[in-house]
């Protein structure tokens, strides 16, 4: 079969690889009919290289048809299924608590990490991913989400990651109808976090540097701004001078810093208090830029409010403004989305003929799998209005 493989920093290629086979009685094999490209794939593309091996199959947002079903899976050949990005057992302590990304059966203990993820480096179990023509699905007695035949793939596909991630970001923001939320970053996750918050009755602001991403959010009733001190002031003024009740960070570690912003200055200030040995390489290499959105979130949220992180962060040396966090009494929530925990809340909205989350206005590029290398570059550089790419592996 054909699959998208990691080959090095900023390099993926489509290769011929062996077809997957059943290995456990609760496995299933699916023929992938749609598979999406995610902001998290850009972390593999860019900074997580040390945890990748050339040839690794990437991708974690697939759906398709079951072509082989293990005796202990709860699937039948022909079932149409969406595959959550994490592999969870559904039975252990954490799965029963709705913390499927911490599943004790699939935890990658040798790396000290949580549940295995499809196509997401040695840190998460080096499991072959879903940007491929076929996929082996472990724990197919629990993970796969069976869906009907009425709607096209793009309506169901984002149950694999984007919709539950955005839903959890809003749930973890601890807000109620009538509250205000600001979303940092309007990539795929930010788009839906903003729309879900709006759908649930909140006033939603968003900050995003790319004009076409702001335009998409504005079409769905989101009040949009460019990054910078003026936007923070405008949002504060629109929330009685206090700042929003919650800020959702949907940017993560590929953030683009604005050296002129107060938060750039704030990061510099924080770094002044660190020993030079730590602060220098940090300033040069990592934190300043990459934490720009997080610093802005901490500055913007009202006192006693919540910063809900859905953007993925890594690394150790990043300084956090503990004085501000403590003094403003800020709650910080974060983590990989626990997909199955939210499916029952989201599925009715996905299947609603009125499309209340506007899923029909989301995918900007439908491409054959063979165009993955160009698509990764286009998505990372935000060219050609690219917001969400869906590959059709059968057109490989
Ligand atoms: N928690 C989870 O389970 C989970 C699941 C999926 C994705 N993610 C993470 O969520 C994040 C977003 O994913 P995505 O698919 O939307 O990716 P993306 O890279 O397309 O989105 C990031 C957006 O942030 C914007 N941005 C950059 N710097 C900014 C700044 N300083 N202020 C405001 N906006 C800024 C970018 O222009 C871009 O539109 C990534 O870090 C991804 O890894 C987490
Ligand atoms: Zn994803
Ligand atoms: Zn489990």
Instruction: Determine the pLDDT at residue 289.
Output: 59
> Do 366 and 261 share a domain, yes or no?
no
> How crowded is the C-beta side of 170, counted as CA atoms within 13 Å?
29
Instruction: Determine the pLDDT at residue 313.
Output: 80
CATH number (domain holding residue 102): 3.90.180.10
CATH number (domain holding residue 184): 3.40.50.720
For residue 133, give Cα distances in angstroms to 6, 35, 353: 16, 9, 30
> Do 126 and 250 share a domain, yes or no?
no
Instruction: Determine the pLDDT at residue 281.
Output: 45
CB of 164 within 6 A of ligand 1: the answer is no
The domain in which residue 380 lies consists of 2-161+337-395
> Do 83 and 179 share a domain, yes or no?
no
Best of 45, 119, 158, 189 to mutate for ligand 1, by most ligand atoms within 8 A of CB? Answer: 189
Residue bearing tokens 């935000």: 382
> Do 195 and 139 share a domain, yes or no?
no
Question: Number of structural domains, the chain?
Answer: 2
> Do 7 and 144 share a domain, yes or no?
yes
Q: Is 218 helix (H, G, I), strand (E, B) or coil?
A: helix
Residue bearing tokens 């299947």: 351
Greatest Cα pair distance, the chain, in angstroms, is: 61
Instruction: Determine the pLDDT at residue 272.
Output: 47
> Do 139 and 273 share a domain, yes or no?
no
> Do 99 and 239 share a domain, yes or no?
no
Best of 164, 254, 313, 336 to mutate for ligand 1, by most ligand atoms within 8 A of CB? Answer: 254
> Do 10 and 21 share a domain, yes or no?
yes
Residue where a domain stops, chosen among 295, 315, 334: 334
> Do 13 and 154 share a domain, yes or no?
yes
Instruction: Determine the pLDDT at residue 29.
Output: 98
Residue where a domain stops, chosen among 334, 350, 374: 334
Instruction: Determine the pLDDT at residue 134.
Output: 98
Low-confidence ranges of the chain (pLDDT < 70): 254-289, 316-318, 396
- d(C-alpha 287, C-alpha 294), whole Å: 10
């Amino acid at each position: 079969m054909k699959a998208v493989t990691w080959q090095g920093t900023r390099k993926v290629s489509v290769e011929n690889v062996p077809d997957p086979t059943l290995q456990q009685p609760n496995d299933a094999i699916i023929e992938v009919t749609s598979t999406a490209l995610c902001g998290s794939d850009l972390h593999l593309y860019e900074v997580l290289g040390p945890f990748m091996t050339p040839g690794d199959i990437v991708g974690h947002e697939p759906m398709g048809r079951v072509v082989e079903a293990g005796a202990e899976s709860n699937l039948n050949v022909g079932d149409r299924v969406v595959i959550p990005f994490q592999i969870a057992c559904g039975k252990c302590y954490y799965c029963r608590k709705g913390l499927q990304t911490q599943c004790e059966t699939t935890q990658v203990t040798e790396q000290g990490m949580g549940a295995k993820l499809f196509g997401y480096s040695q840190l998460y179990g080096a499991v072959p991913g879903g940007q491929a023509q076929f996929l082996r699905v472990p724990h197919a007695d629990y993970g796969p989400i069976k869906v009907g035949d009425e709607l096209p793939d793009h309506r169901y596909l984002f149950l694999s990651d984007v919709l539950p991630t955005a839903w959890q970001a809003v749930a973890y923001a601890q807000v109620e109808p009538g509250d205000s939320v600001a979303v940092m970053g309007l990539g795929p996750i930010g788009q839906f976090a903003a729309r879900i918050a709006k759908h649930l009755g909140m006033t939603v602001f968003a900050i995003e540097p790319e004009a076409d991403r702001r335009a998409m959010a504005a079409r769905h009733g989101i009040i949009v701004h460019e990054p910078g001190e003026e936007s923070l002031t405008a949002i504060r003024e629109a929330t009685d001078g206090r700042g929003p009740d919650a800020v959702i960070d949907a940017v993560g570690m590929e953030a683009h810093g604005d050296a002129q912003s107060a938060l750039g200055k704030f990061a510099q200030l924080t770094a002044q208090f660190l020993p030079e040995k730590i602060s220098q390489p940090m300033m040069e290499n990592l934190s300043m830029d990459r934490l720009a959105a997080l610093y802005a979130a901490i500055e913007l949220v009202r006192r006693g409010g919540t910063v809900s992180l859905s953007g993925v962060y890594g690394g150790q040396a990043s300084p956090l403004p503990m004085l501000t966090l403590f003094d403003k009494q800020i709650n910080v929530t974060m983590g990989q989305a626990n997909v199955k925990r939210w499916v029952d809340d989201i599925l009715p909205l996905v299947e609603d003929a009125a499309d209340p989350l506007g899923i029909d206005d989301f995918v900007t590029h439908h491409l054959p799998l063979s165009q993955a290398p160009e698509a990764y570059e286009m998505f990372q550089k935000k060219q050609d209005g690219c917001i969400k790419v869906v590959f059709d592996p059968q057109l490989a």
